[in-house]
Structure 1
C-alpha cells in the first residue's frame, strides 16, 4: 500500500521484484497486478493532480546545488475533478499575506444548485527577489494555471466554455492564447466599481445592470442607447449574454481562505483540502433533506415562473409555434419543437421561462400530451445531477508523521522570508458601493 501511494505509476514488474526481495517469497505477476489494482482502488485520493515547480538556484547564491527554492504548486483533487459537471468556469486570485507572500489562484465552477464548486487551486510565489528570480503577475504566470486546469479537464483550444473574471491583463492574454474559442466575460461588479469613480449616480448603475441582464439584441441596444445618453464610454457593441454576471463564486471561496493566507504554504494547502472535504459532507446533509426532481434553487425559479405564467395568453400558430402575450405588453414567440423562446431565457438558464410554461398550460388545456414540467428543465438543474456531482468525496489522509519520505535527491526550500509593510490585512477590499451602504 505504501509503495503504491508513494509511486502510483510503478511498473508491476518492478513492484514484483521489490516484494520478492523484501519478503524473500515468490509472487506471480498476476497476483502482484491484482494487489496493485486493489491498492490503487483504496488509496487516498487517487488520480489527484499535483504539479510542483521550483526556481533555479546556483552556488553563487550561497545555496547548496542540490536545493531549489519553491516557485509554485498546483493541486486538483480527484474527487472535485470527477464531480465537476458544470459548464461555467471561473478564475480569480487572492493575495497571500505574512512572511511568504504570493498569490492563491482558484478555479471555481457553478454546480447544479447555482452554488460554488471549488475545482483546483495553486500557490504562486511572486517575490523570489533574494535569489534573483522574479515571478510577477504577467502573462506567463497566469498562463501556467489555466494550462494545468485544461490538462485535467481535457480542454482544448476549440473547447466551448466560459470564463468569468476581473480585467486582469495577464489572464486576458493567457486565456486568449490557450483557448481562443472560449467566451471570456468580465465581472460586472468590478466594472461598476471602476467606473463608479467617475459616474456615481444611481441612474447610471440601473442602466448598467439593465444592459448586462438584457437577453435579446433589441433590448440590449435599447438600454445601451439610454446609457450612452449618460456617458460616452461605451461604443454599443453587443456581447453575448450569459446567466452569470459576477465572479462572486471565487470571492466566496477566497473568503474562506482569509484566515489561512498568512500561514506557511503546507498549512495553507492542507486547510484548503480540509475545507473542500468538509464542504462536500455538509452539502450531502443538505441534499438528504431535498425532495422533488429539481435542485432547491431551480425549484424556486420554476415556482415563480409558474405563478406568473397564469397571467399570459398563448395562441397556437401551427408547427409547434406559439405567440405568447402578457399583461405588460410583452410578447414573445415560443418554438416547442426547437425548444427555444425569443426571450432567450430558456436557452441561457436551461429553465423554462414564463412564456414556455404558459404554452405548456395551453397544450394541457387542449388535451395534448404534456410531460411533467421538470422534463423541460436542463438536466444540470436536476436534483440527481446535483447529487452525482458530490458523489465523489475528498478522502482523508494520514498525518505528516506517516507520510512516505521522498527519495528524490532534490530538496525544495521555502521561499525567502520577506517582511510585508504595514499591518497584515485580513479583510477583503470593499467596493465603493459597499462602503457607502455600511456607513448608512
Structure 2
C-alpha cells in the first residue's frame, strides 16, 4: 500500500478496496479503505507539523542538485535567544533553470499573485509567472509566506529583483490583481516599472455599482484601444451613456489598464493576469499538503511542464512559434483589406487600425507587400517579427532543465542547534470557511447518522405537546428563544 501510494498519491479509494480483495481475498468497506489510505499517505508524506523540521535538509538537497538555485528560509526570532526552537515564517524558491530560461526569453513581463494554503497551518503562496514565446505560462519564482501584505510582498520582490538583476531604475512590467500590499511594494522597489492592473478584477469592482454587459463591453472597448484618440473616443461614449461610470473609471490612471497607454517594452499587450490564474489552478492540489510535499508538488509539476513543452517543440517547424504563426495569419488576413499609398521614397501611408504585440502589425504587413510589389527586398514576413516569437528563442528558453532530487532517506542531515517548528495556527482574513454542519445544523453530526432533528428541537416540541401541532412548527433547532415562545403559546392554547 505504501509503495503504491508513493507512486500514485491520488489513487482512488475504490482501487484500494479492489487491491485488498485481490491480494488478501478480504472485502473491506469504503470507509475502512479511506482510513487506510489516509494513514498510508501520512506515513509517506509525513504530517504537516513534522515536515517543518526537515526544511533545512530539503533546501540543501534542492540547491546541491540544482546549483545556482536561490532558496531563502526565514524564521521567527524567539523571545529567548537561547531557545532551541524557531518558528517558520517564509520560504522563497527560484530554481536556476527557470531563472536562466526567463532571462533568455527577453520578455520583461511578470504576473504577480497570491493564493491561500489549505493545510492546518494556513499561509499564502506568492508566485511570479511570465509568458513564454508561445504565449504559454512560464513560472519563475514562488514562495510560502505568513500572509499577503506589504512586508511579505516587499520581501518576495526584493529576492526576485536580485535573481533577475532588476535595479531600482529597471523598466520592467508587472501585472497584478492589486492585492493588499502589492501596489506599495512595486512602487517602492521599482518606481520606473510599468504596473498593469488585471482588467477582469477592474470589471469585478466596477459591476458592483454598474451592472450589465453594456458596461463590460464599453470597458473592453476602452482597454483594447491602441491609440490615445481611439481611447478618448471610447471614454467619451461611456461618459455619454453614464457620467458616474465614466467618473469611476477615470479615477484609475489609463497607463495601468489600456493598451493605448502601454509602453510596449514588455513585448506583450496582455490585459489579464491569466498566467497566474492558470498556474494557481495547476498546483491547487498541492496547496493542502505538508510544506515539503507542497514544494515538491510544485517542482515536479514544473519538470513535467518543461518536458511537455519540449515534446511540442520537437513537432514544430517554421520560423515562428505556433501561437505567433496563428496571430500573424490573422494579421495578414486583415492587412489584405488595407489601402497603401507609397510616396516613392521611404514612407508608406496605410489606412486601418494598428495593433501592438511586436509582430508585424497590419500596417507593416500591408506596407511590406507594397514594398515587395515595387521591387523592394522584403523577405519572409515572419522575419520581421520580434525575436521573442521565434522557434529559436522558444527552444533556448526550455533548454534549461530542472534536476531530480534523491529520496528523503538520502538527504544530508543539517546539524544545527535550532529546530524549525510550524507557525501558529490562525484564521486569515478572507480565508474561506470549511466548517460543515449536518441537516440539523449541529456541528459534529454526519449525514449518515443524522436524522435531521436536533435534541433541542425534540425537547421543545415535547414540552408543548397535546395542545397544537403548530407549536412544533414554531420551534427551530439551535433557536432557543423561538423554542421558548413556541412552548408558551402552546400552554396558553393560542398556538
TM-score by structure 2 length?
0.68
Alignment of 1:214-229 (within 5 A): 214-229=225-240
Pair 217,424 (structure 1): closer, same or farther in 2 beyond 3 Å = farther
Matched, 1:117 2:128: no
Corresponding residue number in structure 1 for 2:156: 145
Instruction: Provide the C-alpha distance between the structure 1 equivalents of 2:180 and 2:127, rounded to a whole number of angstroms.
Output: 17
Shift of 1:319: 4.2
Corresponding residue number in structure 2 for 1:98: 119
Instruction: Provide the C-alpha distance between the structure 1 equivalents of 2:292 and 2:110, rounded to a whole number of angstroms.
Output: 26
Instruction: Provide the C-alpha distance between the structure 2 equivalents of 1:43 and 1:418, rounded to a whole number of angstroms.
Output: 34
Shift of 1:418: 5.0
Instruction: Provide the C-alpha distance between the structure 2 equivalents of 1:169 and 1:180, rounded to a whole number of angstroms.
Output: 18
Alignment of 1:4-83 (within 5 A): 44-59=65-80, 65-83=83-101
**What do you get for the CA RMSD once the two structures are aligned?**
2.1
CA-to-partner distance for each residue in 1:165-184, whole Å, 9 max, x for gaps?
Answer: 01224110011111100001
Q: Matched residue of 1:91: which SS?
A: strand
Instruction: Provide the C-alpha distance between the structure 2 equivalents of 1:318 and 1:145, rounded to a whole number of angstroms.
Output: 55
Instruction: Provide the C-alpha distance between the structure 1 equivalents of 2:382 and 2:177, rounded to a whole number of angstroms.
Output: 35
Matched, 1:357 2:378: no
Q: Which of these two proteins has the greater Rg computed from alpha carbons?
A: 2
Q: Matched residue of 2:337: which SS?
A: coil
Corresponding residue number in structure 1 for 2:280: 254
Provide runs of 4+ in structure 1 moved above 4 Å.
417-421
Alignment of 1:15-414 (within 5 A): 44-59=65-80, 65-84=83-102, 85=105, 86-126=107-147, 137-229=148-240, 230=242, 231=245, 232-235=247-250, 238-239=254-255, 240-241=261-262, 243-325=269-351, 330=352, 343=354, 345=355, 348-414=356-422
Q: Which sections of structure 1, spanning at least 5 residues, go unmatched?
A: 1-41, 127-136, 333-342, 426-440
Pair 173,260 (structure 1): closer, same or farther in 2 beyond 3 Å = same
CA-to-partner distance for each residue in 1:202-235, whole Å, 9 max, x for gaps?
Answer: 1111110011111101001011111222223133
Instruction: Provide the C-alpha distance between the structure 1 equivalents of 2:407 and 2:298, rounded to a whole number of angstroms.
Output: 16
Q: Is the 8 A contact 1:220 1:238 kept in 2?
A: no
TM-score by structure 1 length?
0.77
Q: Answer 1 or 2: higher relative contact order, Cα 8 Å, separation at least 6.
A: 1
Shift of 1:257: 1.8
Query: How many equivalent residue pairs?
Result: 354
Q: Which sections of structure 2, spanning at least 5 residues, go unmatched?
A: 1-62, 256-260, 437-495
Q: Matched residue of 1:362: which SS?
A: helix
Instruction: Provide the C-alpha distance between the structure 2 equivalents of 1:286 and 1:233, rounded to a whole number of angstroms.
Output: 45
Instruction: Provide the C-alpha distance between the structure 2 equivalents of 1:308 and 1:259, rounded to a whole number of angstroms.
Output: 43
Shift of 1:403: 0.7
CA-to-partner distance for each residue in 1:231-259, whole Å, 9 max, x for gaps?
Answer: 23133854223601000100000011211
CA-to-partner distance for each residue in 1:20-45, whole Å, 9 max, x for gaps?
Answer: xxxxxxxxxxxxxxxxxxxxxx9621
Q: Is the 8 A contact 1:100 1:125 kept in 2?
A: no
